[in-house]
Amino acid sequence: MLDYKKTIEECSKLTDSDKNLFGNINPESAARMKMQNRFQTGIDIAKYTASIMREDMDAYDKDPSLYTQSLGCWHGFIGQQKMISIKKHFGTNKRNYLYLSGWMIAALRSEFGPLPDQSMHEKTSVASLINELYTFLRQADARELGGLFRELDAAEGDAKTAIQEKIDNFQTHVVPIIADIDAGFGNEEATYLMAKQMIEAGACCIQIENQVSDEKQCGHQDGKVTVPHSDFLAKINAVRYAFLELGVDDGVIVARTDSLGAGLTQRIAITHEIGDLGDQYNSFLDLEEVSDKDMKHGDVCINYHGKLVRPKRLPSNLYQFKKGTGEERCILDSITSLQNGADLIWIETEKPHIGQIGAMMDEIKKVIPNAKLVYNNSPSFNWTLNFRQQVFDKMTEKGQDTSAYEREALMDEKYDDTELGKEADERIRTFQADAAKEAGIFHHLITLPTYHTAALSTDNLAKEYFGEKGMLGYVQGVQRKEIREGIACVKHQNMAGSDMGDDHKEYFAGDAALKASGKDNTMNQF
């Protein structure tokens, strides 16, 4: 909570203390600038947002309807406009975060140009985007408060008091960012160094996955390779040490497992006794019992529970897991991570199926009752087809007539207005609330939504503006909608900081200030 009068009083005491230094400084102007920039450093942001996440996690434990959500944002402006929109439509940013996707970093923010999601982008790119996002969110604070200050100057009587209350109760646009560190970009020391940069930029929550750094793949593509638990836990430790070193003691770590879709491992785990963690990891390997005579030149064999066995090794020098063990490995991965430093878990799945997710979470909760999941509502899923097929399968189980539907062709537009299509859409609509209640999902995110919306909106504009509609394509499809829907960005000079710049010029130069506002400012048309 801000306190406008108190901040002015504090600035007045300072300016009164030395007239030589502060004689030209207006305490109220200084107070306004301080209130417009409440977060001085990224560490300030990380501490503030970490406490928010912890409060939200506690609230969810008591009531699963209080889940949290985010969208992946690839630019500071996109993140800023998202939070401005949420405040406009819902009056609060509570339980709404930002997600920083490694996929979008690779595809959109690498100096190499567009890259696949394989951790080939520069290590500093993630921290740079975190810093950029918070720069834009802080600017959104300054812009909105600046508008309130101008309203305050123009108001009289009770109206003035009402506006001051708005200032004192101002809700910041600064919210938690869940930041993707991929597989840590190297060994645990590299993970620690990168985590430090991310936290210093403002990250209160870091998501790390159990793939190998040098073989990392997108979670929804083939070829994923996991590491033994000891390797992954060392990186979780590295992130925790980074948080502690920087004084963010309640920083949040999300441990992601890609084991459901990963059929390979880089190496065999070290094990000292039957049943230990390494032994459990190795139990999922595709093992073949052999004798001395069966061994070939170059074979790698191990003593497994008193038997000589040969793990299946591929030409890539990677070892293969047994088919159908993915869910078991996910459960073990999640329990192990939560028992060894992680706060939240992430299970990357191949489809959005509450039953599948919930079944794994039920097993995890037998050991960790308050286990909470971060879930990727991925654009890589065909949501329409998946949910229509789920409804189709349910109808089949119940013995209902499905002769009007072709399961593999359910994406067809002709099914949009059918009972099946409508039920599937309703399940999609309630997915977040249902999954939060039934599958332990604390945080719902969409990794790449603004990648797709940027492409879609650009396509719509290009089709109209360069086509028969010409300028009407822009006016009708963009500007008219902006004006009528109250999109703040329609006043683009204001959004870019022109009015704030005028305020500052007036503070610094008084009547001599050359300001951009006035009757001839074209922004007055809006």
**Taking Cα atoms as reference points, which of 374, 349, 447 lies closest to residue 103?**
447
Is pLDDT at 222 greater than 70 in this prediction? no
pLDDT at residue 218, rounded to an integer:
66
% of the chain exceeding 90 in pLDDT: 80
Residues 411 and 372 both lie in one domain: yes
Is pLDDT at 490 greater than 90 in this prediction? no
Among 456, 486, 505, the domain-final residue is 456
Is pLDDT at 401 greater than 70 in this prediction? yes
Domain CATH code at residue 76? 3.20.20.60
Tens digit of each residue's pLDDT (9 = 90 or more) over 258-288: 999 889 998 999 999 999 999 999 999 999 9
Is pLDDT at 462 greater than 80 in this prediction? yes
What mean pLDDT comes out for the span 207-231?
80
Among 408, 437, 456, the domain-final residue is 456
pLDDT at residue 492, rounded to an integer:
87
The model's pTM is: 0.93
Write out the H or E segment, with its range, that includes residue 137.
Answer: helix 124-154
Q: Please indicate, yes or no, if residue 331 is contained in any of the structural domains.
A: yes
Is pLDDT at 55 greater than 90 in this prediction? yes
Q: Which residue has the tokens 């299946």?
A: 312
Assign 119 a pLDDT band (cuts: 50, 70, 90).
confident
**Taking Cα atoms as reference points, which of 149, 133, 200 lies closest to residue 36?**
149
Q: Please indicate, yes or no, if residue 488 is contained in any of the structural domains.
A: yes
Distance CA 336, CA 364 (A): 10
Is pLDDT at 64 greater than 90 in this prediction? yes
Residues 446 and 473 both lie in one domain: no
Is pLDDT at 219 greater than 60 in this prediction? no
Residues 60 and 209 both lie in one domain: yes
Tens digit of each residue's pLDDT (9 = 90 or more) over 426-437: 999 999 999 999
**DSSP of 447-500:** SSHHHHHHHHHHHHHHHHHTSTTTHHHHIIIIIHHHHHHT-GGGSHHHHTTHHH
Residues 372 and 410 both lie in one domain: yes
Residues 60 and 131 both lie in one domain: yes
Q: Please indicate, yes or no, if residue 189 is contained in any of the structural domains.
A: yes
Residues 201 and 132 both lie in one domain: yes
Residues 369 and 505 both lie in one domain: no
> Buried b / exposed e across 108-121, counting CB within 10 Å, b at 16+?
bbeeeeebebbbeb
pLDDT at residue 117, rounded to an integer:
74
Q: Please indicate, yes or no, if residue 355 is contained in any of the structural domains.
A: yes
| Sign of the torsion angle spanned by Cα atoms 316, 318, 322, 327 | negative
3-state DSSP helix/strand/coil % of the chain, to nearest 5: 55, 10, 35
Is pLDDT at 237 greater than 90 in this prediction? yes
Distance CA 493, CA 173 (A): 20
The mean pLDDT value of the chain amounts to: 93
pLDDT at residue 217, rounded to an integer:
66
Q: Please indicate, yes or no, if residue 226 is contained in any of the structural domains.
A: yes
Among 434, 456, 478, the domain-final residue is 456
pLDDT at residue 493, rounded to an integer:
85
Residues 252 and 376 both lie in one domain: yes
Q: Which two tokens stand for residue 335?
A: 């329990």
Tens digit of each residue's pLDDT (9 = 90 or more) over 306-335: 999 999 999 988 999 999 999 999 999 999
Assign 221 a pLDDT band (cuts: 50, 70, 90).
low
Answer for the pair 374, 207: CB distance below 8 angstroms, yes or no.
Answer: yes
Is pLDDT at 454 greater than 70 in this prediction? yes
Q: Please indicate, yes or no, if residue 86 is contained in any of the structural domains.
A: yes
Assign 120 a pLDDT band (cuts: 50, 70, 90).
confident
Answer for the pair 106, 122: CB distance below 8 angstroms, yes or no.
Answer: no
Question: What's the CA dihedral at 200, 204, 210, 213 to 10 degrees?
Answer: -20
Residues 367 and 507 both lie in one domain: no
pLDDT at residue 34, rounded to an integer:
94
Is pLDDT at 438 greater than 80 in this prediction? yes
Residues 490 and 421 both lie in one domain: no
Q: Please indicate, yes or no, if residue 125 is contained in any of the structural domains.
A: yes
Assign 197 a pLDDT band (cuts: 50, 70, 90).
very high
pLDDT at residue 512, rounded to an integer:
80
Residues comprising the chain, all counted: 526
Residue 119: which domain range?
56-138+178-266+325-456
Structural domain count, the chain: 2
Looking at residue 172, the DSSP 8-state letter turns out to be P
Tens digit of each residue's pLDDT (9 = 90 or more) over 337-347: 999 999 999 99
What mean pLDDT comes out for the span 222-244?
93
Residues 508 and 363 both lie in one domain: no
**Mean pLDDT lowest for which of 115-119, 220-224, 357-361?**
220-224
Longest distance between any two alpha carbons in the chain, whole Å? 97
Residues 384 and 250 both lie in one domain: yes
Tens digit of each residue's pLDDT (9 = 90 or more) over 84-103: 999 999 999 999 999 999 98
- Residues tagged active-site: 218
Q: Please indicate, yes or no, if residue 105 is contained in any of the structural domains.
A: yes
Assign 456 a pLDDT band (cuts: 50, 70, 90).
very high
Is pLDDT at 123 greater than 90 in this prediction? no
% of the chain exceeding 70 in pLDDT: 98
- 3-state DSSP call for residue 294? helix
Is pLDDT at 74 greater than 90 in this prediction? yes
Give the phi and the psi of residue 256 in degrees, each rounded to 5: -100, 135
